[in-house]
Structure 1
């Protein structure tokens, strides 16, 4: 039976009393037939800091979202407050503009009613009314005896005058007012300009005599 190449099994006959004996190695078996030993575990490679992007912890992400929402809400609140202030200013301007004719009538009543009975009472009411409007930001535009300014003055008449060196408001037809620095109503004025000054753009033009009418009169 020798030379056949078959392995002869060898059994461990030492009884242990704990079940059948474990099979032993086979004699004459080809190399590699025995059970392979387990391969050693691969060593764990530590990831160095900065070598790969790491996700933020959930707590940090929540805090970032909270800060962003807070910033957006703060900007929204400022925008709403700014819009409310602008709307309030526009409403106040419309109301005060409607009250200006009342203020004009008070002044006319005081001008034409001097010395009459009840004049002191009208003046008291007028002064209180004007002070209340002043508390809201209303102020009168200087118009008498000042240089003509087309941004705050409206010329209703122009004439030549030798005593002025530049276009000047010499008479006020209707008072003008500003509200919180903004022109609410321009002042209507009569403008005098020097005789030698030629009319230019933006300046009031003085009335000139018609030569045809002058010839007809001669």
Structure 2
């Protein structure tokens, strides 16, 4: 063989190897990008699962807050000894502080316009001097957690007076 005949085949082999290298590199880069996207999506999915779990636990916790609120409204002169009442109030405050530290906040309702996003109307009632569509009373408190609704406030809404002609 003459040297001229070998040169094109070496050149072709080199070019073929370079193309193959480029294909492998492009494939590896695609897989690397796909894996990076997968990691981001998985982290986001796990964060959503964690948030849903926290909200579920917080929602279960609301019934405890309801009982505490009800017990706090009991008159101080009830038959409960003062030291027990004081102890209960300290525990109640600590539970409320823990709820607040986790972003659980009460929805303010009385005197605000009815908002179906955060309120659930359970009754309509006329009250002199009240604006129709405003919240008169709260039947069950509503709560948010980190800006997201946990439970709507169940409310009594003011209505217009009914005139019989």
| TM-score between both structures, scaled by the size of structure 2 | 0.77
SS in 1 for 2:73: helix
Of 87, 92, 100 in structure 2, the residue corresponding to residue 134 of structure 1 is 100
Q: Deviations over 1:47-77 (max 9, x none)?
A: xxxxxxx657144333322221210110111
Structure number with higher helix proportion = 2
In the alignment, is the contact (CA less than 8 A) between 2:131 and 2:158 conserved in 1?
A: no
Instruction: Find the counterpart in structure 1 of residue 114 from structure 2.
Output: 148
SS in 2 for 1:144: coil
Instruction: Find the counterpart in structure 1 of residue 11 from structure 2.
Output: none
Of 19, 22, 27 in structure 2, the residue corresponding to residue 65 of structure 1 is 27
Distance 1:165 1:144, change over 3 A: closer
Distance 1:108 1:193 in 2: 28
Instruction: Find the counterpart in structure 2 of residue 188 from structure 1.
Output: 154
RMSD, aligned α-carbons? 2.6
Q: Deviations over 1:2-52 (max 9, x none)?
A: xxxxxxxxxxxxxxxxxxxxxxxxxxxxxxxxxxxxxxxxx99xxxxxxxx
Instruction: Find the counterpart in structure 2 of residue 74 from structure 1.
Output: 36
Distance 1:99 1:106 in 2: 11
